[in-house]
């Protein structure tokens, strides 16, 4: 079973439906026991980093995430779910992340507005593939994925930076390390290639 962690933040149904359309047993859950028994877990997130972090902690599910990561089974973070896996975030103050990936999450610089770009970035953008990995099978530089975000992660670990994207500047679009992977874009909204990536995750043998 693939558990989509429900801590009352984000559009979880679209993630669940995407996985089910691929034929996988996927379930939205806030039950720590469900998470404990899962084969793999997805940590979504939409909105402000601090709000997501607080809701995850207050729901009691933060410990479940840490425990599941420690089992070595596959974990996928999406959007703010990805951002929370980094060390720090600077949206409306300073917030601690889980620290699984080195780097911080900061707002796109205002200078990119002068280049004719809007903040937040909403829509399709191309990715740059940095290395080969089973999760990236069938995904190549120039492929488009769907983004919705004002803040972006800046990875400080090149070995973990799997995909990047350019929006006024180059930023981290996907990271992979050990049994943890995460995307800034929304695979569940990225049509065929997004479903392909979710399928790669569903069959990923860490």
Give the DSSP per-residue string, 9-64. Answer: -S-HHHHHHHHHHTT--EEEE--HHHHHH-SEEEE---S-HHHHHHHHHHTT-HHH
Task: List 43's β-bridge partners, or say none.
Answer: 77
Catalytic residue among 149, 161, 165, 186: 186
188 is catalytic: yes
SS3 97: coil
Catalytic residue among 79, 95, 161, 165: 79
Catalytic residue among 16, 91, 161, 188: 188
Residue 9 half-sphere exposure, CB side, CA atoms within 13 Å? 23
Alpha helices in 59-205 (DSSP H): 62-71, 80-83, 111-114, 191-202
Active site positions, annotated: 79, 186, 188
């Amino acid at each position: 079973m693939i558990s989509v962690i429900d801590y009352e933040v984000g559009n979880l149904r679209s993630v669940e439906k995407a996985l089910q359309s691929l034929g996988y047993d996927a379930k939205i859950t806030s039950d720590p026991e469900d998470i404990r028994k899962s084969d793999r877990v997805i940590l979504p997130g939409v909105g402000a980093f601090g709000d997501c972090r607080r809701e995850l902690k207050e729901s009691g599910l933060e410990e479940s995430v840490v425990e599941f990561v420690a089992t070595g089974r596959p974990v996928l973070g999406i959007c703010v779910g990805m951002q929370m896996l980094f060390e720090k975030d600077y949206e409306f103050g300073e917030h601690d992340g889980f620290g699984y990936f080195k780097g911080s999450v900061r707002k796109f610089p205002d200078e990119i507005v002068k280049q004719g770009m809007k903040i937040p970035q909403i829509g399709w953008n191309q990715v740059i593939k940095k290395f080969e990995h089973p999760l990236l099978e069938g995904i190549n530089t120039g492929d488009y994925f769907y983004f919705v975000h004002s803040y972006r992660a800046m990875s400080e670990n090149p070995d973990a930076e799997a995909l990047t994207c350019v929006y006024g500047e180059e930023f981290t679009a996907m990271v992979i390390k050990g049994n943890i992977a995460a995307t800034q874009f929304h695979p569940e909204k990225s049509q065929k290639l997004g479903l392909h990536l979710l399928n790669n995750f569903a069959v990923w043998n860490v």
